[in-house]
Homo-oligomer: A and B are copies of this chain.
């Protein structure tokens, strides 16, 4: 075959430099699979003299974005962030180039516009690398499960928070110390906000929910709660109940007053140690899909890192090049279901509530009464001396109920004179 696909790579950082290396090293294999020789023609960088993980041919480097983008058959965007990535991707799609991006923030914020531009210009948009690194969850949702009905997805999709929580669990460290350790080892950025406040996971949640439910879900539709207020005490309490705390992204079909919609949220949850997500450690990610016909499916793999993420980019590259050569297209945006986004408070789960209460007779009955009045059953109750002579810790786990009902219960509990403090409230992931 003599066909050549000209490629522009925007950004030669951790992922970009691996993409360039792999295209070079696997030239023959990729050509056989894509039906065309894949030729990197230009690499957009901020500084042509910067040191890189993989030595890129200096003749390919440019600081001129339009020069890199114009004339490329396929543009691979690995800059990250909204601007200038958004402008570059729009220009590439406008040119009719196939775009492959690993940019979750861009997708979660402007995905709909990018899909439209791709369609208008009869070209394709790929973004497997934007969610969960090497795990083919975009393919999974966009194609593999397209004949089924996804009812719920739950995933561990952020390595930084997973590392910090692992660290707290295994060493008993405080959040602050675990974060410092993560930063020292390069698992967390100097400004860790996007990761620890759940914003990175929320962007991925929006992308996955859009695909799973055939509905536009943007970053703003996902309620994010991070891990920065998790204490060593919370972790220790979880261990006592044979559970671990993980930051999870959850999107599911829900019903509010008979109207079907979806909820999407990121929050730290208690996960029983026997649950498949409990053992997903460090840089690994996993996504569980609960489907009407297929039942439960799990995808597991490395969620970050230069080479694993580059693998996802290269799969998109083979698909994208092959469609340019042999015809056909990547799936278009599927948003026909247009399900309303409902408040995540209506989503139902079990809860664990930890209270500090006055050390008096009859307190437990009083507390249990509040749950009973709201029609919430208690599954487990345990009591222990927290601050000797001062207060007792009562930890209760409930039957499945909505966040809204739980908020009502918590307000009533806080009004009880015997309740010193609501120490923690977590949703429990797993069997309801």
Within A287-314, the residues touching B (CB, 8 Å) are 291, 293-302, 307-308, 310-314
A302 and B298 contacting across the interface, CB-CB below 8 Å: no
Closest B residue to A28 using CB positions: B336
Q: How far is the CA of A308 from the CA of B293 in the complex (A)?
A: 5
Closest B residue to A33 using CB positions: B146
B327 and A326 contacting across the interface, CB-CB below 8 Å: no
A431 to chain B, nearest CB (A): 16
A293 and B318 contacting across the interface, CB-CB below 8 Å: no
Which listed residue, B293, B295, B315, B329, touches A146 by the CB 8 Å rule?
Answer: B315
Chain B contacts of A26 at CB under 8 A?
149
Chain B contacts of A291 at CB under 8 A?
134, 311
Pick out which of these stretches binds chain B: A135-143, A175-183, A221-229, A406-414. Answer: A135-143
Closest B residue to A146 using CB positions: B318
Q: How far is the CA of A323 from the CA of B327 in the complex (A)?
A: 10
B301 and A298 contacting across the interface, CB-CB below 8 Å: yes
| A429 interfacial by beta-carbon distance below 8 Å | no
| A316 interfacial by beta-carbon distance below 8 Å | yes
Which listed residue, B135, B143, B327, touches A328 by the CB 8 Å rule?
Answer: B327
A22 and B293 contacting across the interface, CB-CB below 8 Å: yes
A295 and B301 contacting across the interface, CB-CB below 8 Å: yes
A242 to chain B, nearest CB (A): 16
Q: How far is the CA of A319 from the CA of B147 in the complex (A)?
A: 9
Q: How far is the CA of A297 from the CA of B326 in the complex (A)?
A: 29
Q: How far is the CA of A311 from the CA of B310 in the complex (A)?
A: 30
| A145 interfacial by beta-carbon distance below 8 Å | yes
Q: How far is the CA of A224 from the CA of B327 in the complex (A)?
A: 40
| A29 interfacial by beta-carbon distance below 8 Å | yes
A68 to chain B, nearest CB (A): 21
B128 and A316 contacting across the interface, CB-CB below 8 Å: no
Chain B contacts of A33 at CB under 8 A?
146-147, 214, 334, 336
A318 to chain B, nearest CB (A): 4
Which listed residue, B296, B297, B302, B328, touches A136 by the CB 8 Å rule?
Answer: B297
Closest B residue to A144 using CB positions: B136
| A266 interfacial by beta-carbon distance below 8 Å | no
A315 and B32 contacting across the interface, CB-CB below 8 Å: no
A145 and B296 contacting across the interface, CB-CB below 8 Å: no
B18 and A311 contacting across the interface, CB-CB below 8 Å: no
A-B contact pairs, 27 of them (CB 8 A): A29-B337, A30-B147, A32-B334, A33-B147, A33-B214, A134-B291, A134-B293, A136-B297, A139-B139, A143-B315, A146-B315, A146-B318, A146-B319, A147-B313, A147-B318, A293-B311, A293-B314, A294-B307, A294-B308, A295-B301, A295-B302, A296-B301, A297-B300, A298-B298, A298-B301, A300-B300, A323-B328
A interface residues (Cβ-Cβ under 8 A, vs B):
18, 22, 26, 29-30, 32-33, 128, 134-136, 139-140, 143-149, 214, 276, 291, 293-302, 307-308, 310-319, 322-323, 326-329, 331, 334, 336-337
